[in-house]
Amino acid sequence: MHQECFHVIEDQADRHWFFRGREAIVRSFLARRGRRLRVLDVGCGKGFFLHDVKAALPNSSVTGIDIARYAIENAMDDIKPFVIVCDCRALPYADHVFDFVLSITTIHNVHYSDCKKALQEIERVGKKHKFVVVDAYRNEEEKERLYKWNLTAQTMMHVDDWKELFKEAGYTGDYYWFIA
Protein backbone atom coordinates (compact mmCIF):
# COMPACT_ATOMS: atom_id res chain seq x y z
CA MET A 1 0.00 0.00 0.00
CA HIS A 2 1.27 3.51 -0.76
CA GLN A 3 2.81 5.23 2.28
CA GLU A 4 0.41 8.15 1.90
CA CYS A 5 -2.53 5.77 2.51
CA PHE A 6 -1.20 4.90 5.98
CA HIS A 7 -1.09 8.65 6.81
CA VAL A 8 -4.69 9.09 5.66
CA ILE A 9 -5.86 6.19 7.85
CA GLU A 10 -3.91 7.57 10.82
CA ASP A 11 -5.38 11.03 10.31
CA GLN A 12 -8.91 9.66 10.29
CA ALA A 13 -8.49 7.12 13.10
CA ASP A 14 -10.03 9.20 15.91
CA ARG A 15 -12.68 11.00 13.89
CA HIS A 16 -14.11 9.02 11.00
CA TRP A 17 -17.37 7.09 11.62
CA PHE A 18 -15.78 3.87 10.31
CA PHE A 19 -12.99 3.83 12.90
CA ARG A 20 -15.17 5.11 15.75
CA GLY A 21 -17.81 2.51 14.92
CA ARG A 22 -15.20 -0.21 14.72
CA GLU A 23 -13.80 0.75 18.10
CA ALA A 24 -17.27 0.64 19.69
CA ILE A 25 -17.92 -2.82 18.21
CA VAL A 26 -14.56 -4.12 19.36
CA ARG A 27 -15.13 -2.79 22.87
CA SER A 28 -18.56 -4.33 23.25
CA PHE A 29 -17.46 -7.65 21.71
CA LEU A 30 -14.40 -7.99 23.90
CA ALA A 31 -15.93 -6.61 27.08
CA ARG A 32 -18.25 -9.61 27.14
CA ARG A 33 -15.25 -11.91 27.41
CA GLY A 34 -13.60 -11.77 30.79
CA ARG A 35 -10.56 -13.93 30.25
CA ARG A 36 -7.23 -13.09 28.65
CA LEU A 37 -7.61 -13.30 24.88
CA ARG A 38 -5.00 -13.89 22.19
CA VAL A 39 -5.84 -11.75 19.16
CA LEU A 40 -4.17 -11.81 15.73
CA ASP A 41 -4.67 -9.11 13.09
CA VAL A 42 -3.58 -10.30 9.62
CA GLY A 43 -2.70 -7.19 7.60
CA CYS A 44 -2.63 -4.98 10.69
CA GLY A 45 -1.19 -1.87 9.02
CA LYS A 46 0.07 0.45 11.75
CA GLY A 47 -1.85 -1.47 14.41
CA PHE A 48 -4.91 0.72 15.01
CA PHE A 49 -7.26 -2.21 15.57
CA LEU A 50 -4.84 -3.86 18.00
CA HIS A 51 -4.49 -0.54 19.81
CA ASP A 52 -8.30 -0.52 20.30
CA VAL A 53 -8.18 -4.10 21.59
CA LYS A 54 -5.46 -3.23 24.10
CA ALA A 55 -7.41 -0.17 25.26
CA ALA A 56 -10.54 -2.28 25.81
CA LEU A 57 -8.77 -5.27 27.34
CA PRO A 58 -5.33 -4.39 28.73
CA ASN A 59 -4.67 -8.01 29.68
CA SER A 60 -5.21 -9.31 26.18
CA SER A 61 -2.30 -10.54 24.11
CA VAL A 62 -2.21 -8.85 20.70
CA THR A 63 -0.22 -9.87 17.63
CA GLY A 64 -0.14 -8.29 14.19
CA ILE A 65 1.45 -9.08 10.87
CA ASP A 66 1.75 -6.98 7.75
CA ILE A 67 3.79 -7.29 4.59
CA ALA A 68 4.58 -3.56 4.55
CA ARG A 69 7.81 -2.87 6.41
CA TYR A 70 6.90 0.82 6.49
CA ALA A 71 3.67 0.11 8.39
CA ILE A 72 5.37 -2.16 10.93
CA GLU A 73 8.28 0.22 11.51
CA ASN A 74 5.84 3.09 12.01
CA ALA A 75 3.24 1.20 14.03
CA MET A 76 1.62 2.84 17.06
CA ASP A 77 4.12 2.99 19.93
CA ASP A 78 2.18 0.73 22.30
CA ILE A 79 1.67 -1.88 19.58
CA LYS A 80 5.11 -1.89 17.97
CA PRO A 81 6.49 -4.70 20.17
CA PHE A 82 3.72 -7.02 19.00
CA VAL A 83 3.80 -6.62 15.22
CA ILE A 84 6.07 -8.15 12.59
CA VAL A 85 6.67 -8.01 8.85
CA CYS A 86 5.15 -11.18 7.46
CA ASP A 87 3.11 -12.48 4.55
CA CYS A 88 -0.47 -13.61 5.16
CA ARG A 89 0.24 -16.75 3.08
CA ALA A 90 2.65 -18.16 5.66
CA LEU A 91 1.91 -17.30 9.28
CA PRO A 92 4.72 -18.23 11.69
CA TYR A 93 2.43 -19.51 14.45
CA ALA A 94 1.40 -22.91 15.79
CA ASP A 95 -2.02 -24.39 15.08
CA HIS A 96 -5.08 -23.02 16.91
CA VAL A 97 -3.32 -20.58 19.21
CA PHE A 98 -5.41 -17.41 18.69
CA ASP A 99 -8.84 -16.87 20.24
CA PHE A 100 -9.73 -14.33 17.58
CA VAL A 101 -8.15 -13.82 14.16
CA LEU A 102 -9.29 -11.04 11.91
CA SER A 103 -8.18 -9.74 8.55
CA ILE A 104 -9.72 -6.55 7.22
CA THR A 105 -9.33 -5.76 3.51
CA THR A 106 -6.03 -7.63 3.24
CA ILE A 107 -6.52 -11.08 1.72
CA HIS A 108 -7.73 -9.76 -1.62
CA ASN A 109 -4.31 -8.18 -2.13
CA VAL A 110 -2.91 -11.54 -3.27
CA HIS A 111 -3.73 -13.64 -6.34
CA TYR A 112 -6.75 -15.95 -6.33
CA SER A 113 -4.84 -19.17 -5.55
CA ASP A 114 -2.98 -17.42 -2.74
CA CYS A 115 -6.24 -16.16 -1.20
CA LYS A 116 -7.03 -19.80 -0.52
CA LYS A 117 -3.65 -20.25 1.16
CA ALA A 118 -4.19 -17.14 3.31
CA LEU A 119 -7.64 -18.33 4.37
CA GLN A 120 -6.22 -21.74 5.25
CA GLU A 121 -3.55 -20.07 7.36
CA ILE A 122 -6.17 -18.06 9.26
CA GLU A 123 -8.17 -21.22 9.79
CA ARG A 124 -5.07 -23.10 10.98
CA VAL A 125 -3.83 -20.59 13.58
CA GLY A 126 -7.29 -19.58 14.81
CA LYS A 127 -9.63 -21.30 17.19
CA LYS A 128 -13.35 -20.65 16.85
CA HIS A 129 -13.62 -16.92 16.13
CA LYS A 130 -12.35 -15.61 12.79
CA PHE A 131 -13.47 -12.69 10.67
CA VAL A 132 -12.36 -11.48 7.24
CA VAL A 133 -13.45 -8.57 5.05
CA VAL A 134 -12.71 -8.72 1.31
CA ASP A 135 -13.42 -6.64 -1.79
CA ALA A 136 -16.56 -7.99 -3.43
CA TYR A 137 -19.56 -7.11 -5.57
CA ARG A 138 -23.13 -8.34 -5.97
CA ASN A 139 -23.96 -6.96 -9.40
CA GLU A 140 -22.43 -5.32 -12.48
CA GLU A 141 -22.84 -1.81 -11.11
CA GLU A 142 -20.91 -2.63 -7.94
CA LYS A 143 -18.31 -4.51 -9.97
CA GLU A 144 -17.68 -1.48 -12.18
CA ARG A 145 -17.39 0.82 -9.17
CA LEU A 146 -15.01 -1.59 -7.40
CA TYR A 147 -12.72 -1.87 -10.41
CA LYS A 148 -12.61 1.92 -10.78
CA TRP A 149 -11.94 2.42 -7.09
CA ASN A 150 -9.37 -0.36 -6.70
CA LEU A 151 -5.77 0.51 -5.83
CA THR A 152 -4.11 -2.68 -4.65
CA ALA A 153 -6.52 -5.63 -4.78
CA GLN A 154 -5.62 -8.53 -7.05
CA THR A 155 -8.71 -10.63 -6.38
CA MET A 156 -12.09 -8.94 -6.60
CA MET A 157 -14.96 -11.37 -6.94
CA HIS A 158 -18.69 -11.79 -6.78
CA VAL A 159 -19.83 -12.61 -3.24
CA ASP A 160 -20.91 -16.09 -4.38
CA ASP A 161 -17.41 -16.82 -5.73
CA TRP A 162 -15.91 -15.74 -2.42
CA LYS A 163 -18.29 -18.04 -0.56
CA GLU A 164 -17.21 -20.87 -2.86
CA LEU A 165 -13.57 -20.13 -2.12
CA PHE A 166 -14.22 -20.02 1.64
CA LYS A 167 -15.72 -23.49 1.32
CA GLU A 168 -12.82 -24.82 -0.81
CA ALA A 169 -10.30 -23.43 1.67
CA GLY A 170 -12.15 -24.96 4.61
CA TYR A 171 -12.55 -21.51 6.12
CA THR A 172 -15.19 -21.66 8.88
CA GLY A 173 -15.05 -18.10 10.20
CA ASP A 174 -17.30 -15.11 9.62
CA TYR A 175 -16.92 -12.74 6.71
CA TYR A 176 -18.19 -9.53 5.27
CA TRP A 177 -17.66 -7.50 2.13
CA PHE A 178 -16.07 -4.24 1.16
CA ILE A 179 -18.53 -3.02 -1.49
CA ALA A 180 -17.63 0.10 -3.49
Ligand X SMILES: C[S@@+](CC[C@H](N)C(=O)[O-])C[C@H]1O[C@@H](n2cnc3c(N)ncnc32)[C@H](O)[C@@H]1O
Footprint of ligand X (CB under 6 A): 1, 9, 43-45, 48, 65-68, 71, 87-88, 104-106, 109-110
Query: How far from 32 is each of 26, 28, 62, 94, 174, CA to CA, in Å?
Result: 10, 7, 17, 26, 18
Tell me the closest approach of the beta carbon of residue 145 to ligand X, in angstroms.
17
Tell me the closest approach of the beta carbon of residue 9 to ligand X, in angstroms.
6
Round to whole Å and give the CA distance between 163 and 158.
9
**In terms of CB distance, is 16 or 96 closer to ligand X?**
16
3-state secondary structure of 175: strand
Tell which residue, 69, 66, 137, 128, has the closest CA to residue 103: 66
User: What DSSP line would sit under 59-107, residue for residue?
Assistant: T-EEEEEES-HHHHHT--TTTGGGEEE--TTS--S-TT-EEEEEEES-G
Tell me the closest approach of the beta carbon of residue 83 to ligand X, in angstroms.
11
Round to whole Å and give the CA distance between 53 and 59.
10
Tell me the closest approach of the beta carbon of residue 106 to ligand X, in angstroms.
4
**In terms of CB distance, is 17 or 140 closer to ligand X?**
17
Query: How far from 126 is each of 11, 42, 83, 121, 142, CA to CA, in Å?
Result: 31, 11, 17, 8, 31
**In terms of CB distance, is 46 or 166 closer to ligand X?**
46
**In terms of CB distance, is 3 or 139 closer to ligand X?**
3
Q: Are strands 61-66 and 98-104 parallel, antiparallel or unpaired?
A: unpaired
**In terms of CB distance, is 36 or 149 closer to ligand X?**
149
Tell me the closest approach of the beta carbon of residue 34 to ligand X, in angstroms.
26
Tell me the closest approach of the beta carbon of residue 148 to ligand X, in angstroms.
17
**In terms of CB distance, is 5 or 37 closer to ligand X?**
5
